[in-house]
Amino acid sequence: MGNTFKTAVLLGALTGLLVVFGNFFGGQQGMVIAFAFALLMNFGAYWFSDRIVLAMYKAREVSEAEAPELVAMVRGLAQRARLPMPRVYIIPTPSPNAFATGRSPRHAAVAVTEGILGLMDREELEGVLAHELAHVRNRDTLISTIAATLAGVIMMLANMARWAAFFGGGRDDEDRGGVVGLLFMAVLAPFAALLIQMAISRAREYQADATAAQVTKKPGALASALERLQQASQRLPLQANPATAHLFIVNPLSGRSFLSLFSTHPPIEERVARLRAMRV
C-alpha cells in the first residue's frame, strides 16, 4: 500500500472513529462542540508552529554569509524539489538531529543541530535536508494538524463521556448502550485514535524518505545518514519535548519508547531497508 494512500485510509479511519463515537455518546451536537474546541486549539498550533518550536530549541537563523555551505545546499535542494527557499536555522546542541516546520512551503523553516553538521559527510547531510524539505513539499504539517484535530475531538468527547457516566447524565441508557458501554467506548476510542495518529506519522516518515531519495537520486546516502544518526543520538540524546518528537528525522525519544505502535517514527532498520532497495 502506497504511503499517500495509506495516509488517506488512516485519516478516513480516524474520521470514521469520530463519527461512530460521537454518535454513540453525544450525537451531532456533542461532536460539533468538541470539533470546534479542537479546531481552535490546533489551528493556533498550526499557524504559529514554526515560531513556537524554533524558540523551544533556541534555534538561530543563519544567513549565507554565516553558513555558506549549509545555506547553499538547502537552496540547491529546494530548487530541485521546486520549493521556495526556506529559512535555515542551527540549534545549539551536540545531539545530531534535524527537523522542518512551517504552515506552508512559503512559510517553511529547516533546522539542523550543531551535532549533525559535525557528524555527516556532504551526501549524508544532503539526504537529511532533502528528507526535511520533503515534509514541506508533502505538506506534512497540515496533515499532522488534521490528524491531531480529529484525535483531539475524540479525546474531548471521551472526557465528556467519562463525566457523563460518572454523573449519570447524557442520553438514556437504551440509546448509549448503558454506563458500562459508555465507559468502554470512552477508554477504547481515544486509545484507537492515538494508534491511528501515530500510524499516520510513521507513514509520512516513509513518504519523506522516498521523496528525498527521488530528489537527491542517492537513497543510499540517506540510509547511511539514518544509521549514523541512530547510533549517535543514542550516545548524545536530545532533551526534546514529546509534543515535538514527530518533527525530527529520527525520534529523539527512541531511547524511552517501549512499543513501536506508539512511536511517531518507523524503525530505522525498516527505513534503511526500504531506501537501500530503492532504484531511482
The contacts of residue 266 (CB under 8 Å, 6+ apart) are 202, 205, 206, 260
149-162: average pLDDT:
72
Distance (Å, whole) CA 60 – CA 254: 25
C-alpha cell at position 128: 537529511
Per residue in 197-232, pLDDT tens? 888 889 999 999 999 999 999 999 999 999 999 999
Per residue in 113-126, pLDDT tens? 999 999 999 999 99
Distance (Å, whole) CA 64 – CA 122: 17
Report pLDDT for 34. 62
Indicate whether 45 pLDDT > 70. Answer: no
DSSP 86: P
Residue type, 241: N
Indicate whether 280 pLDDT > 80. Answer: no
Distance (Å, whole) CA 148 – CA 84: 26
Distance (Å, whole) CA 84 – CA 279: 27
254-267: average pLDDT:
66
Please answer whether residues 173 and 130 qualify as being in contact, where contact means their C-beta atoms are separated by less than 8 angstroms. no
- Band of pLDDT at residue 248, cut at 50, 70 and 90: very high
Angle at 11 between CA 7 and CA 16, to 5 degrees: 145
Distance (Å, whole) CA 198 – CA 204: 10
Per residue in 63-77, pLDDT tens? 999 999 999 999 999
- Band of pLDDT at residue 167, cut at 50, 70 and 90: low
What is the spatial order of strands in the sheet that 98-101 belongs to? 60-61, 87-91, 109-113, 98-101
- Band of pLDDT at residue 183, cut at 50, 70 and 90: low
Please answer whether residues 198 and 261 qualify as being in contact, where contact means their C-beta atoms are separated by less than 8 angstroms. yes
- Band of pLDDT at residue 176, cut at 50, 70 and 90: very low
Report pLDDT for 35. 66
- Band of pLDDT at residue 255, cut at 50, 70 and 90: very low
Question: Which three-class secondary structure state does DSSP give residue 106?
Answer: helix
Indicate whether 38 pLDDT > 80. Answer: no
Per residue in 98-147, pLDDT tens? 999 988 899 999 999 999 999 999 999 999 999 999 999 999 887 887 77
Indicate whether 57 pLDDT > 50. Answer: yes
The overall average pLDDT reported for the chain is 82
Indicate whether 186 pLDDT > 80. Answer: no
Residues carrying an active site annotation: 132
Burial class (CB in 10 A: 0-12, 13-18, 19+), 24: buried
Within 13 Å, how many C-alpha atoms sit on residue 210's CB side? 13
Report pLDDT for 124. 98
Q: Which range, 12-16, 102-106, 184-188, is most confident?
A: 102-106
Q: pLDDT: is 240 or 15 the higher one?
A: 240
